[in-house]
Amino acid sequence: MASLCLNSLLPLPPSHPQKLLEPSSSLLSTSSSNEVALKPIVINGDPPTFVSAPSRRIIAVGDLHGDLSKARDALQIAGVLSSDGKDQWVGEDTVVVQVGDILDRGEDEIAILSLLRLLDEQAKANGGAVFQVNGNHETMNVEGDFRYVDTRAFDECIDFLDYLEDYAQDYDKAFKNWIFESKQFKEDRKSSLTYWDQWNIVKRQKGVIARSVLFRPGGRLACELSRHGVILRVNNWVFCHGGLLPHHVAYGVERINREVSTWMKSSSEDEDSPEMPFIATRGYDSVVWSRLYSRETSDLNEYQIEQASKILRDSLEAVGAKAMVVGHTPQLSGVNCEYGCGIWRVDVGMSSGVLDSRPEVLEIRGDKARVIRSNRDTLHELQVADYI
């Protein structure tokens, strides 16, 4: 079986490691008749930047763009989400990494964020974890760029703010429960719709205001996004939305994550509020916008391919990784790899607001990687593709 071979894990950079979880006695593996406890996940950086997750199965999930149904499908084919509608973690000690662009183009953005937070708590109790990296649509919304927001997503923001009032501003509790409550809010909203609502300018303005309150720097959901970086290395794999380049690593991976996080959670009304970190969030060669590794090689000439391959090798060497996983650019052929499988592209445009394609995820086990695909109509029938 073809596989992507990786070398042994390089040492984590000096930082203040945070032990995520001491596995319980039930999380034991047997080798040569000797019981060996599964080593805990250790996180370096705030937000998480370098993660040591020994012996863990890793799942990479691409862009979700507000489609809760497809998000659930992707997590279910990955074997980490229950299929009984109760949204329970069943992935044991698996580590999930979602590579950004949860926002825009769909109606259930906050519900997806809530689901991932809920699953992260459940995963940690079982020796696993759920990580996210922010994409360009997350940074755009914090910046106040709402060009790609679905009209129904504005409505979700209104509903969520009303919901917070019901919880007497107990944000944390409300946020984690939103995945269970959002459906009823949506049904109530649809049942009260009238023909004239589509031209209701006041309602539209209310939605924009609600979204601004939640996503502006220092807002509730901006602070939620600030818990995640734009670059994450788990073992020998580095995850980001657009692409990591050598000058990003030279600037400092932890520094980039810290600056983006600080910008997101600092109130824009403060006189000394930080500016948007350009190197991570703006420009064709920023971390969340780069498409260097995502272009079809069939559209490139030999020189362009050689240059992209060299930049990728230099970036991986600089960050201490052997392969990179990115989203951002929908892949019409599904999840795939290029440049000797040094880069994996996992955005398949699964959201109904993008390509409405069937969900696919990347599974990583040690030195092997494979794609798990669902049959569009029968999710329990899985197709698995392996790449060199």
Catalytic residues: 137
- Per this entry, what is the length of the chain? 388
Q: Is the peptide bond before 47 cis (omega within 30 degrees of 0)?
A: yes
- Give the CA-trace dihedral at 203, 204, 209, 215, to 10 degrees: 130
Sheet of 57-61: strand order equals 129-132, 95-98, 57-61, 360-365, 368-374, 382-386
CA–CA distance, 289 with 268 (Å, rounded to integer)? 23
Please tell me whether residue 208 adopts helix, strand or coil conformation.
helix
Block residue for tokens 């034991």: 28
Q: Which two tokens stand for residue 55?
A: 């012996």
Q: Is residue 188 within 8 Å of 132, Cβ to Cβ?
A: no
Position 93, amino acid: D
Please tell me whether residue 84 adopts helix, strand or coil conformation.
coil
Q: Is residue 106 within 8 Å of 151, Cβ to Cβ?
A: no
Count of C-beta atoms within a 10 Å radius of residue 272: 5
Please give the DSSP secondary-structure letter assigned to residue 197. Answer: G
Measured in whole angstroms, how far is the alpha carbon of residue 19 from the centre of its chain?
21
Measured in whole angstroms, how far is the alpha carbon of residue 329 from the centre of its chain?
14
CA–CA distance, 57 with 365 (Å, rounded to integer)? 5
Rg (CA), the chain: 21
Q: Is residue 268 within 8 Å of 217, Cβ to Cβ?
A: yes
Q: Is residue 241 within 8 Å of 231, Cβ to Cβ?
A: no
Q: Is residue 127 within 8 Å of 41, Cβ to Cβ?
A: yes
